[in-house]
Each structure stands twice: as C-alpha cells, then as structure tokens.
Structure 1
Amino acid sequence: MSSGSSIPYHLRHNKAVDRNLFVDLLTKVNNVKNISDYTYISFGGPYLEDFKVINSALKIKKMISLEVDENTHKRQKFNMPLSCIDIGKEPLCSGDFLDNYTFAKRKRHIVWLDYTDPAKINEQLGEIESISNKLNPFDILKITMNAHAETIGRDLTLPINNDPREYRARKLEETLGAYLPYPLNDNHSGSKTYPTTLLHAVKKAMRMGISSRSDLVIEPVSAFIYADGQTMLTATAVVLKNEEVKINRFFSKSRLSAWPFLNRDWESPRNITVPSMSLKERLFIESLLPHASAQEIIDSMEFLLADDHRSTTKQLKTFIEYQRAIPWFSKVVF
C-alpha cells in the first residue's frame, strides 16, 4: 500500500513539490469551507510526514492513517509525531477501511490514496470508484498512482530493442478492464503518454463511482506527474452539488479559478519534475530570477543540471514555474 512512503522526503524532491501544491490547493478551499474542520485520511508511511505538514499548515486535528504492513505500523507507533493521528490498533488495508468507514454527510473529508504498486492498478481503480460513491459535497479526493510505462512489461519473446508499446497497449486493455477510458493503440502506452491514459482511467473510475448520485458531480482540480525514480501520476478532485458547478460558485469563491495550476479537464497532467541541485546551485539560480530565462541560467552556470541540454532546459523551466512550492532540504550536523 505505502511501500514508496518508506523513502524519506529529502530524497523525493518532486513528491515534496506535489505535497506543497496540494497544501496550496487546500488553502484555497479554506475560502469556502473551514479546512481545519475536515478529517484527513491518507497512507502515513513509517514517518507520517504528510500528517505533520497538513496539521501544521491547515490546523486539521482529525487525522486517520491507513497502513497494511505490520512492521510499518509498528514504526508509526514509535514515530508518532502528533496525538491527533489515529493509526488504529492493528494494520488495515485501504479497501477494508473504505468498506467499513461511514462518510457522514455533516462532516467533510480529505482523502489521499497514495498508491505505489503498479501491479494492482485495477484494484486501485476499484477503490477509487468505491470511495467516489461514498463522498459528500466539498469532500476532496487526491490520488497518486505509479505511471511508469516500464512497469506494464514487455513481450519477452521479442528482442530487447523491440518497440514494446503494442504489447503494453494490449496488456493495459486487459488490466484496466471496466476502467478502460477508450480503445487503446500504441500511442497510448508510451513512456510520455501512459500517464495521460492512466489519468483518463482515474477520471472514468471517479465518474462511475458517483454516477448513481444524480445530485452530485466530481470535478477535476489538478493533475501532475513527477519522477523521483519512477514516474508517478497525482490527481485531485472535489465533490460538488450540480448547482455549485452550474454557477461556478466554488471555483470563484475559493479563488481556484485564478490558481495557476488549476486543471479542470484532465486532458493531460502537468510535469513538476525539478532539477536536483546543490544549495549553492539553487541560490545562484534564484539570484538570477525572476528575469532570467532557462537558457540564460544555463549560460551563466556554464554546465548542465541534467543529462543533456534539453532535459536541463525543461527542468529549469519547471523550477521557475514552481519555485514557491519547492522545499529546502539541508544537512544539519548536531
């Protein structure tokens, strides 16, 4: 369930950017509903890092961590940073929790399902459909899934240099099943296009889940991809009453309509992969902003931050766009 969460945040810069953007989104929601009254449900991992940040930034005090691994559950007990986090007496998988938890209509929830196992995509989409059916107006659902095309596999009977996209498209059709967003071809299963295909499957799962509740809709808010190793897709949506959408009240009152990272159609996710930099490199780059372009920064540094010029340029443009959401990590010697 949360195996990827065992990697410390200081080694996952891009996931930390995604987390900070999520906090930024939730502060916008606070313009409509008191965010501190929400219940936060997520996969805490051994360190419960997200819970500390959510509590500190948003003053949310009702928090539930889901964990299926027994050893990680024991580590959570040892590392418990806040008394308001409920980790349960015993390990519990997300599916069992969702089957038994009641999303009371008078309470609001933020649910972040942070999946890491690419072998369980169909099961994960089933959980997304299930929870979408249980949520109530102004509840927020965030999904993180492994979107690394290599995890789909390849035809081992063919040479290693054979294009694997045809095989992966067929495999995906079998895997996605009822959540297949459209007939797939080779172009839907490449390393650059697979995250978009998976995002559309997530959208279909959410809409299938809420389809029986004619008074509600589930509205996309953001969608990103990042890589701290393998490519991950993250998408956030909010449940609203139909009239809220018709008059656009939620998005205008929350000021999300002016949020630069808003993505209301989920046609494709935005890439938030930023370059790995030393402290000195980052300080130098920021000293050239806000006026310098990516190319001007490269010219000033006289070296590349990535494997090639194109990758460096792309990552620097991302850094410039998301600079405010990029955390500072530094080694502290006691």
Structure 2
Amino acid sequence: MSNGNQIAYHLRPNKTVDRNLFVDLLNKINNYKNISDYIYVGFGGPFLEDFKVMHTILKIKKMISLEIIENTHKRQKFNMPISCIDIGDGPHTAQDFLTNYHFKKRSRHIVWLDYTLPSEINQQLGEIELLCNNLNPYDIIKVTLNAHAETLGRDNSLPYSASPHAFRANALQDILDVYAPHPIQEKHVTTKAYPTTLLHALDKAMHMGIRTRPDISIQPLSSFIYADGQTMLTATAIILENNHSKVERFFKGSRLNNWPFLNKLWDKPKDISIPVMSLKERLEIEAKLPNSTPEEIIDSMGFFLADSEPHTIKQLRTFIEYQRAIPWFSKVQL
C-alpha cells in the first residue's frame, strides 16, 4: 500500500515489537470475543507477513489485503503464504475499500491501516473518520502514522541553525485542518511532542467518525512510538457499545486491565524503540537480567549501545520492559 511495505521485517525490529504487542493485545481480547471469527483487513505489502501471523497465531481464516501498487499486487500473488487471503483482482485504494465495503453487524473486523507517507496525513485521517463511521461494536482498529517531525520541513530562507518550529506549527495546522485537536503551537511540533499531537488528532478523527452514532464509543487500548529510521506512531482502539456496564464487562472479561501496556486515555504514547544489538550483546544483557540495572549493564559491558549513556539507559529500560515481544533474527542457510 505504501513504500514502507517494501522493507522486510527483519530490517525493522521495532516494528516487529509493535506487531508482537498487537498480537498480544488481540490474545487478551480473545478471552472475551473469539478472535478467530474476525475478518482481518490490512495493507499486506509484497510479502503478506502480518497476514501469515494473524492466521498462524490467532487462527483468523478470512483476511483482506489492500494494495494500490500494481507491481506489489503481482508480488502478492507470487508470495501468497496461505489461501485464505483475498487480494482482489487488482490494485485498489483504502478509500475505494472503505467506500464500497459493507461492515455487516454480524461480522467483526480487525482493521490495521498501516500508513507511512507523511504527505498524506490529512487524507489518512479522513479515511480513519470514514472507517469509524462504518464500524460496529467489538470491531478493532489499529492505525500507524508517520510521526517524524522533520517531515514537516523548515523555512529554507532562514539559516539551517534557526529553529524550524514556527514553520512546522503553521504547516501542521494547514495539514490537519479540521482534525487539529487544538490550535497548533510551536511546542506541539518538537521532536518529542509531535507524536502526541498526532495521537490527539487521530483521536479527534475517530470521534468525528462516530458523532452520528450515539450507540457506540471509541475505547483506546494502546499507543506506541518507535523508530526503524523515521519515528512512527501506532495506536489501537476498539469500538464498544455506549454503555458503561458493558464497557466494564469487556475489560473484566478480557482481563485487559492487567495488561502492562494498556493505555485507555491516549494521553501520551509509550516509546518501544529498543537498542540495536549484536547477538552476542543481547545474550550478554539477558544473562544479567533480571537482577541488573541498565547502569550496571553499561558498566559491565564497558560501552554504550546508543550515541550516549542517557540514550543507552533509556533503550535498555525499554528492552527490559518489552523483552518478551522482541524478536530474534538470524541467518538461515537453505
């Protein structure tokens, strides 16, 4: 669906962590609703890796891949890992699908809109609004957006050393338009704050989508940022009936309140970026857990895994917190 899908997962370890956390979340919901009965919709890319995972781990048997690039669609036909993926007769946009597809009330859906192009954020939020207007109780929506502040550009008439924040605030105000969660100021477009600003814009787009649907509500479940190059924001929500007792019943039945990564308010996304490590470095770190602190690990190894000690400490803390979701990659000779 986008250029980001041309990059293999083994070159995007942080995205793989995000996917593994999503599967973990769906397994929790499976305590309350049978996930294998859901229909999965997403951007499959040339290798359809997410689809294979959804079938293998969650036993989902009906899946729909959206793809706009003709050559990628041809690669999907060649790389088809399982027979239950519908890739359609040819390329089609997410907008085409959302306009024409009927989300039946008796069918439940998981929709992952995995966007990568920052130039199309307004259009993407519009598609999210349209999607939410069509969803039904217990449908699940996951969205990935490019949250790299540098993509907002800078005023080339000024020296490069000048602050770009005023230019970027004006640019983002124009880009978001009706989806701006508040008047965009310079503090909202810093590298650190920009993902949170986009998260709140996403929240507004979803609520705009259900404004004519008093029967349902949007319930945030998780939000993360990661970087395998550019910073990406990813967030997951579920559609629930607009009934307090039924919402409480969902959280009790799914046991999501005990999930350590739950974010019910979408106030700020959690950073899941992990350090870039060799196999030997990872084994050494894991051998020192759970009894060693990041500071003690750095002292023992004698070097930093990132560009500074504070950055290394931050990434090691993330590694420790999300260790269970971090993949192992290795070369296999066939």
TM-score, structure 1 length as denominator? 0.99
C-alpha deviation, 1:2, in angstroms: 2.2
Counterpart Cα distance in 2 of 1:293 and 1:52: 37
Partner of 1:279: 279
Deviates further, 18-27 or 166-175: 166-175
Partner of 1:201: 201
Partner of 2:185: 185
Counterpart Cα distance in 1 of 2:308 and 2:181: 35
Partner of 1:59: 59
Counterpart Cα distance in 2 of 1:172 and 1:137: 32
Structure 1 residue ranges (4+ consecutive) displaced by more than 4 angstroms after TM superposition: 244-247
CA contact (8 A) 2:36 2:58 kept: yes
C-alpha deviation, 1:246, in angstroms: 6.2
Pair 1:237 & 2:237 matched:
yes
C-alpha deviation, 1:247, in angstroms: 5.2
CA gap of 1:245–1:264, structure 2 versus 1, over 3 A, is farther
1:180-237 deviation line (CA, Å, top 9, x unaligned): 1001111000111000000000000000001111011011000000000000000000
Letter in 2 for 1:259: W
Pair 1:290 & 2:290 matched:
yes
5 Å-filtered alignment, 1:253-272, equals 253-272=253-272
5 Å-filtered alignment, 1:30-109, equals 30-109=30-109
1:18-48 deviation line (CA, Å, top 9, x unaligned): 0000000000010111000000000000000
Percentage of identical aligned residues:
64
C-alpha deviation, 1:278, in angstroms: 0.9
Counterpart Cα distance in 2 of 1:127 and 1:146: 15
Letter in 2 for 1:31: N
CA contact (8 A) 1:146 1:230 kept: yes
5 Å-filtered alignment, 1:318-333, equals 318-333=318-333
Letter in 2 for 1:69: I
Partner of 2:122: 122
C-alpha deviation, 1:245, in angstroms: 5.8
CA contact (8 A) 2:241 2:247 kept: no
Pair 1:22 & 2:22 matched:
yes
C-alpha deviation, 1:280, in angstroms: 1.1
**Helix, strand or coil: the match of 1:248?**
helix
1:268-298 deviation line (CA, Å, top 9, x unaligned): 1000000111111111111111111111111
CA gap of 1:320–1:245, structure 2 versus 1, over 3 A, is farther
1:34-70 deviation line (CA, Å, top 9, x unaligned): 0000000000000001011111110001000000000
**Helix, strand or coil: the match of 1:107?**
coil
**Helix, strand or coil: the match of 2:225?**
strand
Letter in 1 for 2:10: H
**Helix, strand or coil: the match of 2:281?**
helix
CA contact (8 A) 1:219 1:237 kept: yes
Aligned length: 334
Counterpart Cα distance in 2 of 1:134 and 1:94: 14
Partner of 1:212: 212
Letter in 2 for 1:266: W
CA gap of 1:210–1:33, structure 2 versus 1, over 3 A, is same
C-alpha deviation, 1:333, in angstroms: 2.1
CA contact (8 A) 1:244 1:250 kept: no
CA contact (8 A) 1:30 1:254 kept: yes
CA gap of 1:260–1:184, structure 2 versus 1, over 3 A, is same
CA gap of 1:79–1:245, structure 2 versus 1, over 3 A, is farther
Counterpart Cα distance in 2 of 1:332 and 1:251: 41
Counterpart Cα distance in 2 of 1:161 and 1:86: 50
CA contact (8 A) 2:145 2:232 kept: yes
Counterpart Cα distance in 1 of 2:236 and 2:41: 14
Mark the runs of 5 or more structure 1 residues left unpaired by the alignment. Answer: none
C-alpha deviation, 1:310, in angstroms: 1.1
Letter in 2 for 1:95: Q
TM-score, structure 2 length as denominator? 0.99
C-alpha deviation, 1:329, in angstroms: 0.4
Counterpart Cα distance in 2 of 1:242 and 1:96: 29
